[in-house]
Structure 1
Amino acid sequence: MSKVAVFIDGGHLRSYARKAKKTYNPAFVVATARATLSAGDTLFRILYYDCDPFSGTVKKPVSNTPHTFPPNQSFLNSLAEEELVAVRRGVLKFRGWERTKASLAATDAAVAAGNPPPAVTDADFSARFEQKGVDLRIGLDLSTMADSGAVEEMIVMTGDTDLIPALKLVRARGFQVSGVALPNYAIIGELRQHLDLFRSVAAW
């Protein structure tokens, strides 16, 4: 019997869940984490890493009028209330605006047809965000878990190669680290080299 902890990079899981058209809610996250367990495993804790949606007021790219992103912490707050779940929050930073693919395609089509490009409005842009602090928190918790000796195996659900130094550290301290292959996702080679075992979620 092995005591295990499951570490989930929320951005990674959410990306593949959306591609599979799954409803992304706390119950889905918990069910996916538990689907990685094998017979005989004892779950110590699910650690979930993500950011709350950006909140704040910024200026729109064309009209320069203010646009407010309201605060919304309901998802992570609800997930944190689930049994054996701990939520670690990073920060989502606003990094400006970028033209949407549809807007760029419309401009290209107009130019190719010899027509003047359509006027650009605020609706032609989408907000660009950058997630900060998530991989750092995963790495710190992996190290802390190894120091505590609370588990025998750490299951890591991520595609982030920035975690390789933390994975190497945990393995050097004598702990097994497993990666998770989600449906239609294969663990990349660079990450596979620093994992001991491979688990899979066979079906959503």
Structure 2
Amino acid sequence: MPTAVLIDGGYFIKRFRRIEPHNCYDAGRAAELAHRWALAHLTPPSEETRSLYRIFFYDCPPLTKKMHNPISGQCVDFAKSAEAVFRTELHDRLRHMRKVALRLGHLTELSSWTASSRVLEGLLKGRMQFGDLTAEDLYPNVRQKGVDMRIGIDISSLALKRQVRQIVLMAGDADFIPAAKLARREGVDFILDPMWSSTPKGLIEHVDGMRSVCPRPVGHAQEPAHEKKDRTPANAALGIAGG
């Protein structure tokens, strides 16, 4: 039974950093675990061994702009940031792995500066004043584009062309419901791997099963549902949101 494993890169990196916080910027370790956890789905308990069709990893290139911080006036070269170095190396390693296809979206051209929800809440509730803001409170607010679309198109293509009998999706976004429903109508066994994070009820009822193969994050037995608009730790330093 051919199985395709689709990995939402931003979501995967968020969970990887929860599971191994000491390896947050170790691109080699992230690539190794993405491959290992994907292959773990080929031998589920009490079922026949499956063959791998391909592992698809979806992400965006990192922010590489030079931008001036509006508070300090300092020019920041984000191409040299730890996040940019990590993402670039991760993508390069994935490209060289057998049976792995890297699907890249893009970042929005326009970008501005914003602050964390904690800082914004402090300003709105009067606990902070604008004069209290420091350069470290701000980060560029850029968005990913085309990632969810590519995942949806690949799910639909794999199902309609009868290329696989099973699809495993490592993600937690309810936006994939229409694609999951289409795949199931075409007879594809659709498995969701939320990597131990809780998931929206609307997504759970439209899959054939759920299974997390990675280690459970320490101290995170019950976590809030992942929402599309949330900034993940993988992108928080750069303010990147999914889309």
TM-score by length of 2: 0.71
User: Match of 2:76, SS?
Assistant: strand
Question: Residues 145 and 107 (structure 1 numbering): CA distance in 2 closer, same or farther, change over 3 Å?
Answer: closer
The residue that corresponds to 1:31 in the other structure is 36
User: Match of 1:61, SS?
Assistant: coil
Q: What is the number of equivalent residue pairs in this alignment? A: 198
The residue that corresponds to 1:84 in the other structure is 99
In the alignment, structure 1 residue 131 sits paired with structure 2 residue 144: yes
Amino acid at match of 1:50: D
The residue that corresponds to 2:192 in the other structure is 179
1:76-121 deviation per Cα after TM superposition (whole angstroms, max 9, x unaligned): 121121111001001133642223477679989xx87xx9986533
CA distance in 2, matches of 1:104, 1:148: 48
Post-superposition shift, 1:36?
2.4
The residue that corresponds to 1:68 in the other structure is 77
The residue that corresponds to 1:150 in the other structure is 163
How do 1:114-129 and structure 2 match up within 5 A?
Answer: 119-129=132-142
Question: Residues 194 and 104 (structure 1 numbering): CA distance in 2 closer, same or farther, change over 3 Å?
Answer: closer
- Return the structure number with greater strand share: 1
CA distance in 2, matches of 1:170, 1:116: 51
CA distance in 2, matches of 1:120, 1:181: 36
The residue that corresponds to 1:96 in the other structure is 112
**Greater Cα shift, 185-194 or 42-51:** 185-194
CA distance in 1, matches of 2:129, 2:148: 45
Amino acid at match of 2:39: R
Question: Residues 59 and 168 (structure 1 numbering): CA distance in 2 closer, same or farther, change over 3 Å?
Answer: same
Q: Is the 8 A contact 1:7 1:48 kept in 2?
A: yes
In the alignment, structure 1 residue 165 sits paired with structure 2 residue 178: yes
User: Match of 2:144, SS?
Assistant: strand
Amino acid at match of 1:32: W
The residue that corresponds to 1:19 in the other structure is 18
Question: Residues 21 and 121 (structure 1 numbering): CA distance in 2 closer, same or farther, change over 3 Å?
Answer: same
In the alignment, structure 1 residue 10 sits paired with structure 2 residue 14: no
Displaced runs of 4 or more, over 3 A: 63-66, 100-108, 115-121
How do 1:38-77 and structure 2 match up within 5 A?
Answer: 38=44, 40-70=49-79, 72=85, 73-77=88-92
**Greater Cα shift, 87-96 or 192-201:** 87-96
User: Match of 2:211, SS?
Assistant: strand
In structure 1, runs of 5+ residues without a counterpart are none
Question: Residues 203 and 119 (structure 1 numbering): CA distance in 2 closer, same or farther, change over 3 Å?
Answer: closer
The residue that corresponds to 1:188 in the other structure is 200
TM-score by length of 1: 0.83
Q: What fraction of aligned residue pairs are identical, expressed as a percent?
A: 30
